[in-house]
């Protein structure tokens, strides 16, 4: 089952991340590649695992549940997609981080389910930096208020910000949005809000992760560049 070339793709992506980090004078240890495995079968995830990947990103609760028991227990599962409040309870004991918090209602439910599961769940606030109508996430203007409210909830730890930049064929188009997310995290850090850190920026996908790394990404979420195109009809 080596026909997928997943191992080669991972090496290529890691090489590109290294180059971008070097160019920006960043320490590679502060950057983690998340393999976005949504719609992909378990044997492909296994291949990525065997190539050294331990961080996987999924955007559907059902898919995390299906894959979770079939793969090694040291995998860190990242919930990166829009999360419905009524589904938090299924993954509260399974995910290492939820990247997509964009409402107080969702933050409160994660808090409640984290307490039930006896743990603290690190979360990121999703920001719609480019103000796209089709995208989830809070506006830049509303971000600090949500951070402040979420900071007061037990069982969750606001650890940074996440964004899904616009689709583009020129990654340079998105530099401004990655830079804005970084700036927003710097602004919020300067407010010294208790019980939060803005240490993590989750940004950059297959089309633009090198630029995201140059602009300060700590978590990059790469799907197609590792596993190939997604076929939603089959997946």
Residues lying near ligand PLP in the complex (CB under 6 A): 36, 38, 59, 80-81, 164, 205-207, 221-225
Report, in Å, the least distance between residue 192 CB and ligand PLP. 30
Report the C-alpha gap between 232 and 235 in whole angstroms. 5
Report, in Å, the least distance between residue 14 CB and ligand PLP. 14
Q: Which residue, 155 or 218, has its beta carbon nearer to ligand PLP?
A: 218
**Burial class for 165, CB neighbours closer than 10 Å (0-12, 13-18, 19+):** buried
Residue 97 and residue 110 in contact, taking contact as beta carbons nearer than 8 Å: no
Q: What is the CA radius of gyration of the chain?
A: 17
Token representation of residue 176: 């401004």
Q: Which residue, 64 or 153, has its beta carbon nearer to ligand PLP?
A: 64
Q: Which residue, 114 or 222, has its beta carbon nearer to ligand PLP?
A: 222
Token representation of residue 137: 């996430």
Nearest Cα residue to 21 out of 204, 228, 177: 204
CA distances from residue 221 to 17, 151, 172 in whole angstroms, order as listed: 12, 25, 17
**Residue 82, SS3?**
coil
Report, in Å, the least distance between residue 140 CB and ligand PLP. 18
Q: Report the residue number whose CB is nearest to ligand PLP.
A: 223
Report, in Å, the least distance between residue 13 CB and ligand PLP. 10
Phi and psi, residue 61, nearest 5°: -55, -45
Report, in Å, the least distance between residue 118 CB and ligand PLP. 28
Q: Which residue, 6 or 153, has its beta carbon nearer to ligand PLP?
A: 6
Q: Which residue, 139 or 224, has its beta carbon nearer to ligand PLP?
A: 224
């Amino acid at each position: 089952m080596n026909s997928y070339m997943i191992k080669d793709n991972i090496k290529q992506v890691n090489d590109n991340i290294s180059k971008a980090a070097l160019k920006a004078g960043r320490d590679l240890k502060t950057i983690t590649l998340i393999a976005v495995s949504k719609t992909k079968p378990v044997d492909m995830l296994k291949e990525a695992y065997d190539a050294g990947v331990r961080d996987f990103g999924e955007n559907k609760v059902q898919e995390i549940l299906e894959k979770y028991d079939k793969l090694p227990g040291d995998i860190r599962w990242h919930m990166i997609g829009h999360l419905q409040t009524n589904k938090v309870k299924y993954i509260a004991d399974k995910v290492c981080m939820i990247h997509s918090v964009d409402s107080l209602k969702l933050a409160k439910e994660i808090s409640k389910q984290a307490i039930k599961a006896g743990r603290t769940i690190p979360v990121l606030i999703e920001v719609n930096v480019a103000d796209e109508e089709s995208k989830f996430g809070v506006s830049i203007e509303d971000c600090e208020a949500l951070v402040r409210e979420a900071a007061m909830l037990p069982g969750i730890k606001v650890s940074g910000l996440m964004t899904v930049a616009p689709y583009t064929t020129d990654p340079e188009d998105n530099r401004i949005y990655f830079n804005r997310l970084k700036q927003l995290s710097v602004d919020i850090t300067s407010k010294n809000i208790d019980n939060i850190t803005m240490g993590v920026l989750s940004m950059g996908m297959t089309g633009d992760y090198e630029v995201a790394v140059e602009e300060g990404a700590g978590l990059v979420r790469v799907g197609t560049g590792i596993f190939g195109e997604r076929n939603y009809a089959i997946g």
